[in-house]
């Protein structure tokens, strides 16, 4: 009896401990699965990558799953843990190769597992991501031809369709999506296939057929997310089909019920566009402005800014406001799909303002800057130097339009004076004319005077712009053509053509000097010769301080004589720096606080928000001075030298692969290295499944040895 009780107790203890250990690794797996689902539920960031929070959750999943595989390699949860680990490595976004190796381990070590088939689909996806596209497509096509994998054919077909969509091969994508709907109508993937099929027809601008697919999908049982997406695209199709009231009605329903929280901003943008089309432009712009406020620095705010610009451009013809809205697109999100469109449209708006002389507070330089921005985008973002050259060459031609407009206005003025002074004006019988008719006649004369005044004002404005073209804009465009032909085409004939034009037509221009520097391999400063000479004079004056700790009065007088003319320089920064230095010399070196006060007061009035003014206020409050022992220019030079040395060290660290502390923390968060953990897992898997990978002959030999 005692023995039996002891035996029973032993069994109970064994079962209890087994249950405890089983619960331990089950809880670990359960928590890992929960974290994985949480990471999956998080929307991607602006760069279409997982957010820092999602990455950290994936990291925790990897560590927990690694623990299960190491500590309980023969448990029933080990294969699920390995699959979850492989998924986390994949969705984390930086470990495709390691992820593929883990999916391959599932196929190798758990060949009878239900996770083998989805692992094949993941491997094919990763091969596509790694640019092994032929292998990827072959794997998936062979997979759907294998009758043993029939249960997963809808998943493989959907994956094939999505990969073909990435290739923009819409015909093949449509074939596979239709195949899912027709052959596997009861599969989970069929509902996703409907949504993807409808979106594909939308992408190829077949809006009627897209709506047919989405309306059919609404008759099927599906998730709320899919229903809401279908409704959104139905509204979008109606928008493109110019059935704006239908689109507005659907969007009203979606927005009021807030059925799709993650996409509310997207719905509001479309709703604003619909409002603009039916005439409610003010309300549309107000909505878009609010979207930008509610979603700062996101793809949504960039898109809202773009469509706000479109309404101002196309509906309101307010080109200046449109330029501001288009410029806001890149400030909100540089990677926005609307970035290039906004730059292009901004450049077009600037040309319209110039060509048709719309009233604008924007200067010619600002308008031309919009066109230069487009050229630079073509050059450095899209690598399209031909397109950039086209813009640079067209800019000088715009001067001729202004000259032509000036001639037209001069003719109008001539006609006005010819009519006003040479044509006989009939005498009006004042007895027969009523006071009202006299008022009308006087208003017409006043209006004519106002018109002629406007024409004279426009002539003045045109002359300023034409002069600006002659002295700034055209030489700049010639210089840019020279640079593009040298750097992107290596066309020395064209380089010399523009170089000679600058030398002959603009010998004193800053862009001619820039061309000389560029052609001689020197740093381009964009300074005229006289400006270079002024900077050289200032540097020479400062060299007295850098060479001598004690400066004689004669040397100080020499420095002052050099700096005084520079206070009138057209280079504002140089003029301010000279005034500042003269004030400090009088205050500290000469001890003449009255003279110093004149210079400091001048600078505080002339440039109150400058760095110079900020420094002055540290030792001068308008009445009293606080003593300093060193000239700020010397301190500035030393700080600049220290900064250059720091940047050089940092550059060496980067080149050698060493990161700064901040970068290292950021790297650890997003790029945590699991190499050691994965190596341990590989070893555990090999040892645990060692005999499973041996042939029958090898097993017999091992048994004989034992």
pLDDT value at residue 356: 63
Cβ-count burial 443-464 (b if 16+ within 10 Å, e if not):
eeeeeeeeeeeeeeebeeebee
pLDDT value at residue 646: 63
Q: Please, are residues 83 and 685 in contact by the beta-carbon 8 Å criterion?
A: no
What confidence tens digit (pLDDT) does each residue in 266-323 have? 999 999 999 999 999 999 999 999 999 999 999 999 999 999 999 998 999 898 999 9
Q: Average pLDDT of 63-87?
A: 89
Identify the band that residue 73 occupies on the pLDDT scale cut at 50, 70 and 90: confident
Q: Is residue 227 over pLDDT 60?
A: yes
Domain ranges of the chain: 387-519, 529-629
pLDDT value at residue 618: 78
Identify the band that residue 444 occupies on the pLDDT scale cut at 50, 70 and 90: very low
HEC assignment per residue over 460-477: HHHHHHHHHHHHHHHHHH
Distances (CA, A) of 392 to 191, 378, 404: 51, 11, 21
Q: Is residue 571 over pLDDT 90?
A: no
Q: Which percentage of the chain shows pLDDT scores above 90?
A: 40
pLDDT value at residue 639: 58
Q: Average pLDDT of 438-454?
A: 50
Average pLDDT, the chain: 81
Q: Average pLDDT of 466-483?
A: 93
What confidence tens digit (pLDDT) does each residue in 13-44 have? 444 444 444 455 568 888 889 999 999 988 87
DSSP for 478-533, written as a single string: HHHHHHHIIIII--HHHHHHHHHHHHHH-TT-HHHHHHHHHHTTPPP----HHHHH
Q: Is residue 121 over pLDDT 80?
A: yes
Q: Is residue 703 over pLDDT 70?
A: no
CATH architecture of structural domain 529-629: Alpha Horseshoe (1.25)
Q: Is residue 100 over pLDDT 90?
A: yes
Q: Please, are residues 89 and 99 in contact by the beta-carbon 8 Å criterion?
A: yes
């Amino acid at each position: 009896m005692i023995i039996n009780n002891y035996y029973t107790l032993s069994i109970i203890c064994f079962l209890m401990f087994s249950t405890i250990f089983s619960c331990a690794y089950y809880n670990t797996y359960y928590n890992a699965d929960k974290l994985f689902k949480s990471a999956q539920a998080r929307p991607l960031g602006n760069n279409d990558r997982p957010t820092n929070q999602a990455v950290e959750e994936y990291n925790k999943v990897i560590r927990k799953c690694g623990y299960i595989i190491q500590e309980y390699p023969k448990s029933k949860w080990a294969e699920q843990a390995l699959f979850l680990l492989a998924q986390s490595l994949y969705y984390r976004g930086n470990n495709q190769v390691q992820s593929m190796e883990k999916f391959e381990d599932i196929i190798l070590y758990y060949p009878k597992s239900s996770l083998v088939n989805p692992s094949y689909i993941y491997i094919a996806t990763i091969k596509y991501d790694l640019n092994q596209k032929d292998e990827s497509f072959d794997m998936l096509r062979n997979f759907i031809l294998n009758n043993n994998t029939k249960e997963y054919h809808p998943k493989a077909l959907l994956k094939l369709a999505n990969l073909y969509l990435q290739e923009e091969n819409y015909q093949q994508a449509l074939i596979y999506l239709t195949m899912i709907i027709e052959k596997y109508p009861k599969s989970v993937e069929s509902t996703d296939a409907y949504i993807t099929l409808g979106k594909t027809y939308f992408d190829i601008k077949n809006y009627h057929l897209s709506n047919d697919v989405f309306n059919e999908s609404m008759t099927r049982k599906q998730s709320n997310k899919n229903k809401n997406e279908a409704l959104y695209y139905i509204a979008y199709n109606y928008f493109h089909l110019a059935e704006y009231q239908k689109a507005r009605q659907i969007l009203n329903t979606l927005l009021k019920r807030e059925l799709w929280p993650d996409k509310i901003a997207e719905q509001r943008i479309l709703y604003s566009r619909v409002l603009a089309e039916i005439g409610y432009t003010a309300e549309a712009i107000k909505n878009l402005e609010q979207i930008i406020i509610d979603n700062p620095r996101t793809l949504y705010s960039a898109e809202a800014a773009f469509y706000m610009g479109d309404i101002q451009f196309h509906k309101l013809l307010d080109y200046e406001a449109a330029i501001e809205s288009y410029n806001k697109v890149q400030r909100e999100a540089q990677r926005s799909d609307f970035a290039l469109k906004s730059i292009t449209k901004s450049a077009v708006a600037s040309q319209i303002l110039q060509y048709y002389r719309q009233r604008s507070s924007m200067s010619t330089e600002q308008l031309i800057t919009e066109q230069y921005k487009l050229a630079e985008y073509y050059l450095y973002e899209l690598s399209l130097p031909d397109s950039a050259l086209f813009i640079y060459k067209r800019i000088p031609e715009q001067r001729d339009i202004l000259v032509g407009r000036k001639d037209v206005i001069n003719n109008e003025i001539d006609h006005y004076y010819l009519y006003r002074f040479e044509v006989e004006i009939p005498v009006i019988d004042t007895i027969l004319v009523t006071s009202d008719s006299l008022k009308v006649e006087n208003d017409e004369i006043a209006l004519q005077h106002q018109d002629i005044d406007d024409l004279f004002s426009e002539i003045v404005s045109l002359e300023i712009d034409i002069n600006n073209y002659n002295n700034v804009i055209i030489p700049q465009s010639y210089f840019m053509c020279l640079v593009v032909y040298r750097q992107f085409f290596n066309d020395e004939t064209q380089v010399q053509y523009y170089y000679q034009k600058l030398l002959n037509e603009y010998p004193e221009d800053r862009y001619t000097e820039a061309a000389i520097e560029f052609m001689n391999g020197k740093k381009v400063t964009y300074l005229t010769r006289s400006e270079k000479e002024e900077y050289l004079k200032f540097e020479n004056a400062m060299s007295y301080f850098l060479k001598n700790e004690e400066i004689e009065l004669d040397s100080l007088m020499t420095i002052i004589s050099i700096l005084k003319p520079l206070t009138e320089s057209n280079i504002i920064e140089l003029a301010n720096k000279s005034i500042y230095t003269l004030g400090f010399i009088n205050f500290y070196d000469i001890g003449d606080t009255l003279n110093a006060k004149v210079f400091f007061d001048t600078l505080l009035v002339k440039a109150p928000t400058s760095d110079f003014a900020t420094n002055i206020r540290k030792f001068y409050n308008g009445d009293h001075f606080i003593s300093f022992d060193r000239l700020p220019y010397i301190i500035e030079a030393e700080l600049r030298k220290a900064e250059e040395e720091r940047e050089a060290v940092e550059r060496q660290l980067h080149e050698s692969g060493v990161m700064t502390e901040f970068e290292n923390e950021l790297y650890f968060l997003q790029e945590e290295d699991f190499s050691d953990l994965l190596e341990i897992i590989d070893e555990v898997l090999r040892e645990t499944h060692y005999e499973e990978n041996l042939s029958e002959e090898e097993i017999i030999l091992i048994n004989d040895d034992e």
